[in-house]
Structure formats: C-alpha cells, structure tokens
Amino acid sequence: MKKYILAIDQGTSSTKTILFDELGLAVSKGSVDLKTNYFDNGFVEQNPEDIYQNVLDSVRLCLNNFTGQGFLLTDIVSCGISNQRETFVLWDKNGKALAPALVWACKRSISICTDLIEKGQNDIIKQKTGLLLDPYFSGTKLLWLIQNDAELKTRIENGEVYFGTVDCWLLYKLTNGIHFKTDYTNASRTLLFNIHTLKWDTEILEKWGLSNLTLPQVFPSSHDFGEMDLSQIFDDNINISIPITSLIGDSHAASFGEGCFEKGTAKVTMGTGSSIMMNIGDEAVLSNSGMLTTICWSTEDRIDYALEGAIVSCGSTIEWLKNELQLFSNPDETASMAMEIYDNSGVYLIPAFSGLGAPHWQMTRKASIEGMTFGTTKNHIVRAALESIPYQIKDVIEAMTKDIKAPLKSISVNGGMTQNKFVVHFLADLLGIPLNKQQNSDVSALGAAYLSGLKSGVYKDIEQLSTLVKNQTEQVLTDSNNELPANGYLGWKEKIKKEIV
C-alpha cells in the first residue's frame, strides 16, 4: 500500500494543500486565496477565522481531488503544516479570537521598537532571541495591542489570553482545543523565545508585562502534535483522523525541503524580495555582520540553527523597470536583453528603493543608477538591474561565511526569478559553485511533508531524504572561464561603500 502525506502551506495570500507520495512527488493539490487587509497607516491584518476557514477550504479541495483520482483517505499517514511566520493570533480558551491576526508585514509597532531600543533593550533581545527589535516580529506588535486595548491588557494579566503564531492557532482549532503547541522555528520569531535554552524567556516576558500571557508548549518541528478530525473538513459523519506530525515556519520548511541538512548549506528564495537562510549547525552563532540568528529546523534528536538575511529589492526592481521606465513589456525579455551586450560597461543599479537590507542596513539610502554615459542603452540598465540581484546575494553569503568561519558548501534557489537564465547563471559563476534547483516549486509544503514523514515513519532518516532531494534536483553549473561576475562585483562593492542619501 502506498503512503501519502498531507502538507498544509498556510501563506499570507493563500493556503496551498498538497498530498505527497513516498517519493516526495505531488499527487493532489488544492489552493484558496486569503484576504489580507492593508491600511494606509501601515497596519496589516487578517481575520483569524478567515485563516482557519481558508485552510479547511484548501484541504477539502485537495482531498476531493485525491479521492476523485481513486485514492483512499485512509492511505494518508500524517499531516505537516508550514505557515506564514511572525503573524500571530490571540484567543480565549473556547477558541474565540480576541483581536485581528496581526500580519508580519504590519508596521504599527515602529514607535514601540524605537522606545525599547532607546531603553537599551536591543542587545539583550539579540543575545537571547537572535533577532533585532523590529516591527516585523510578533512581540512588539503584541505590546502595541496591549497599549491600545485596556480590556485585552486586563485579560492578559488575568491569564485568560492564549497567544500563538498561525501554526498554533490552526492546531488548536483543528484538534478542537485539545492541543496548544508550536514548534521551535515559529517560537523563535516572536521575540519572546530564548533560542539557547529553547524556552519562553521569563526575563523578557516580565520586562514587557507578559508573565501571565498563556503561551503554547514548544516542541521540535517533527513531533506528535495531535490529530486532525476530518469531520471538520467534510459535513458528513466521516470517522477518520490524521496525525499532525510537523509544524514549521514557511522559510524554515523551504530550507528543509531544499535539503539544507548540513552546516554551510543554504537556500535563496528570489521573489519580490529575497530571503537567504544558511544552516550553521548545532550552535546558535550570533552575527556580527547584520544577520539574524534563528532555528533552521529540528527533529526530536537534532536541532540545526541558521543565519538569515533579507534583501529588500529583487524581482520588485525588474517590475519597476517595466512599469515606470517601460524598458520592456514582459520580464521574460530581460535575460535576452542583458545578453545582447558583453558586460555592464560600468553601469550599476543600486536597488535601494526601500533602503538596503542585510548586511548593509542602510534604510535611508535611495536607489540610484551609476556609471552612465551617452553610450548607455536600455540593455545596460536592464543588465545592471539583473546583476544587482546576484551581487546582493553574494554580499549576504560573504557575511554569513564570515560569521560562521566556514565556507559555503551548497546553495539551492527557488522563487520566480529563478526562471531568468541570466540571473541564475550569473549567480552560479559569481559564487563559484553550482546552484541546486528543485523540480518541485512548492518547497515549503515539501519540507513540512518531509518532517511529518520522519515522525510518522514514512521516511527512515535524513540520509534517505537527502537522496530524495538529490533525485529531484537539477544543477545550474558554473563557467570557470567567466570572469565578468567577479570583476563586476568589485565595482559593486565600491559603489555600495558610497553612502548616497
């Protein structure tokens, strides 16, 4: 009998549910869009019940497609959940939400972060959590809610409020309030969790007036979290339940799905922005180069940490060239445009449209195009924009390897920009190692499935998963004779040194 694993990938804009077979191949999918409320003042919210219903709808679509192909629900061995990180929900013991879900992108706690930094709390937060005081993370947005809702503050002081990231909220609802748990990766994104002791940090909680906040139990990403009753999915009296054996944040799940199993292995997601995560082994190394330290993934007998860096402008730079400068009508044209000229002729585009992220953190810097002459064509500008993506990734990778004092072993790439052949080949030649590219683009769901399968016995060990990943990976090879990326990078570093405000 074939075994299948259900993976729920709950993202900001939609929920994808995928059923994978033992080889890690998708056999059924269901995807449903999720509404997000964006406000002019930078607030970003979702309805917690909408998130839950969105998941039910997505799972139902996937399972109906599965049974429609002649498969049996009883062949599903376990379920894994990956989720949008940092977004959190507050609820009571009956599972009733007490506030909107505050989304990771919400900026409402900027002033709170500024105040905490002025009070000298940034160092202790970094030492304990590996993070920085920033509105991106859950804790400071929670403080904003307390400051602006007296009733909620009182209920927290009375121990009546449950706090959880999206994985925890879904688990609570899917298990009818029986299980109140999360995993190390999600807990590590809240500013409330000590990544060294692997416990909620009592000093931070006391400092922030959160000692009576009801927090979930925290476990490895691959663990027995409870059972999902399928009667919630289907209206009829179906008597089938599926063990939930993994919870993990989506970027961490992508790292696992990409096979980042060893120290020095990394993944790069190239979308609107870019997220880079490198496995740094079993010790939490704090960065001196502007990186975040986080928990990469964990099983019941192993915890791997990671350094993480975010690039603000990646695909968004190309969209700007299309929409505002109208240099092309379709981003697919950009690779051939870049290759129509030999090199960038000294033209650089610094994509600081919203400042520069890791490792520079020049948040007040403005975007610029430098080195232009009357001989500069639109192809030069397009090429400069595409080159800025590998250059920024190289900046982050160099900072990470400096922090861990070890070389980059391998790098896996995913996201929309991986379709651009110029970018991926330029990146491979610049880094000097082949790029790994998964055949399956849903790597977050795949990572959650792999971790679930480890606990439920579908997979024996990491070594077996490593073989599966290799079998589903193609490589973008390097051209050792291509010196243009390395030479161009020297010019990039000179331009970056010049602070332009």
DSSP string, 424-454: HHHHHHHHTSPEEEES-S-HHHHHHHHHHHH
Q: Do domains 4-250 and 259-500 have the same CATH topology?
A: yes
* 472 phi and psi angles, rounded to 5 deg: -110, 15
Q: Does 458 score more than 50 pLDDT?
A: yes
CB 277 within 8 A of CB 296: yes
pLDDT for res 24: 94
pLDDT for res 501: 43
Candidate from 128-137, 266-275, 483-492 with smallest mean pLDDT: 266-275
Q: Contacts for 363-368 with beta carbons within 8 Å, 24 or more apart?
A: 364/501, 365/499, 365/500, 365/501, 366/500, 366/501, 367/313, 368/500
Which tokens belong to 208?
A: 């922030």
pLDDT band with cut points at 50, 70 and 90 for residue 104: confident
433-445: per-residue pLDDT in tens? 999 988 888 999 9
Q: Tokens 């998964």 appear where?
A: 438
CA dihedral (135, 138, 144, 147) positive or negative = negative
pLDDT band with cut points at 50, 70 and 90 for residue 39: confident
CB 102 within 8 A of CB 108: yes
Between 405 and 235, the higher pLDDT residue: 405
pLDDT band with cut points at 50, 70 and 90 for residue 499: low
Between 113 and 238, the higher pLDDT residue: 113
400-411 average pLDDT score: 91
CA distance 82 to 247: 6
Between 231 and 67, the higher pLDDT residue: 67
CATH number of 259-500: 3.30.420.40
Q: 8: how many CB neighbours lie within 10 A of its CB?
A: 27
Rg (CA), the chain: 23
CB 195 within 8 A of CB 294: yes
Strands 217-219 and 181-183: parallel
pLDDT for res 310: 84
Average pLDDT score, the chain:
93
pTM of the model: 0.90
Which tokens belong to 194?
A: 């000590």
CA distance 219 to 183: 5
pLDDT band with cut points at 50, 70 and 90 for residue 238: confident
CA distance 386 to 232: 47
pLDDT for res 393: 95
Q: Does 500 score more than 60 pLDDT?
A: no
Task: Please state whether the peptide bond connecting residue 359 to the residue before it is cis, i.e. omega within 30 degrees of 0.
Answer: yes
Q: 1: how many CB neighbours lie within 10 A of its CB?
A: 6
448-458 average pLDDT score: 97
Q: Does 199 score more than 60 pLDDT?
A: yes
* 36 phi and psi angles, rounded to 5 deg: -120, 135
Q: Does 378 score more than 80 pLDDT?
A: yes
What architecture is the 4-250 domain classified under in CATH? 2-Layer Sandwich (3.30)
Q: Does 204 score more than 50 pLDDT?
A: yes
Dihedral-angle region of residue 24 (phi above 0 means left; psi in -120 to 50 means alpha; beta otherwise): left
* Per-domain residue ranges of the chain: 4-250, 259-500
331-354 average pLDDT score: 94
CA distance 64 to 69: 9
pLDDT > 90: percent of the chain: 80
Q: 332: how many CB neighbours lie within 10 A of its CB?
A: 10
417-431 average pLDDT score: 94
Sheet holding 14-21, edge to edge: 26-33, 14-21, 4-10, 76-83, 241-249, 222-229
CA distance 290 to 395: 11
Between 479 and 47, the higher pLDDT residue: 47
CA distance 278 to 293: 10
* 137 phi and psi angles, rounded to 5 deg: -90, 155
483-488 average pLDDT score: 94
